[in-house]
Amino acid sequence: MNRGNLADVGRIFYGTAVAAMGVQTIYYNDLPYMLIPPTHFPATILIVLTYISGILLILAGACIIFKKRPKPMSLLLGTILLLIFCFYYIPYEFMDTSNYMHLGEWENAEKELALSSGAFVIAGCFSEKKENPLFRLLAKLIPLGPVFFSITITSFGIDHFLYAKDVSDYIPSWIPNHMFWTYFAGTALIGSGMAIMLKIKTGLSAGLLGTMIFTWFIILHIPKVVTASSAADREGEITSAFLALAYSGIAFVIASPVKKQEFNQAHV
């Protein structure tokens, strides 16, 4: 697979994950668990917010998959998610919990930030002939995409050491030496996250990261969805599975420094 094809695969993975979470949101009439912190909105407002979120995710994912105005849609998606992280998640973590100093308490916030980072990474693959001034301004956030992603990946790697027992319990029983693989995965996540951040062998590091996470999607997350014991558990496992697919896609796009001209087939 050449590097251009790798970028296409990553874009499709990410777009599919985003669109699927939108379908899931509408089907379950419930926001994905990591999209926003627990809310106390009135039921009517929450229902409206849920459907709007689902439609936006489906639309954004479809535009990314089929390259229909992908840059503005990615920028819009990434900006909305980043605003939620900055002005909703951060205040929530400091005001609604006494454990904000514990890295594990930020896990859902980091997942949401990673989705935001992916949208900016995708947006950086495209150019438009006539760019709206607003989107030209939002495009200044594009270089932050890999930075946000590396922060999340590095944090997940640290979590593998801080919460090793919990992480090891997620590994299928047919895989031996759970603690070894827990520490191995944590080391790989930290190493790849730092490599992306510091731009050290970025293509190799991100490519290996994307492959590792896609392997987890196949051997860890899909079986968890199939064997979920309840509808509520299955809903959460579906979200986690598509998050893994999105992370894999983001890593593949970062691994492939495709020139913008290769993506100019997008409708502008």
Rounded distance between C-alpha atoms, residue 256 and residue 133, angstroms = 28
pLDDT of 3: 54
Alpha-helical (H) ranges within the chain are 3-28, 43-66, 70-84, 90-95, 107-123, 133-138, 144-162, 164-168, 178-198, 202-216, 222-226, 231-255
Find the range with the poorest average confidence among 65-79, 185-199, 249-263.
249-263
| Band of pLDDT at residue 268, cut at 50, 70 and 90 | very low
Give the confidence band of 2 by pLDDT, cuts at 50, 70, 90. Answer: low
With a pLDDT cut of 70, the percent of the chain lying above it is 92
Q: Can you tell me the mean pLDDT for 220-227? A: 95
Q: What is the pLDDT of residue 132?
A: 86
pLDDT confidence of residue 151: 96
User: What's the predicted TM-score (pTM) here?
Assistant: 0.92
Give the residue from 30, 78, 17 showing the smallest Cα distance to 70: 78
Q: What is the pLDDT of residues 41-96, one digit of tens each?
A: 788 888 999 999 999 999 999 999 999 999 999 999 999 999 999 999 998 888 86
Integer Cα distance of 169 and 83 in angstroms: 34
- pLDDT tens across 124-136, in order? 999 877 778 999 9
Mean pLDDT value across the chain: 90
More confident: 66 or 105? 66
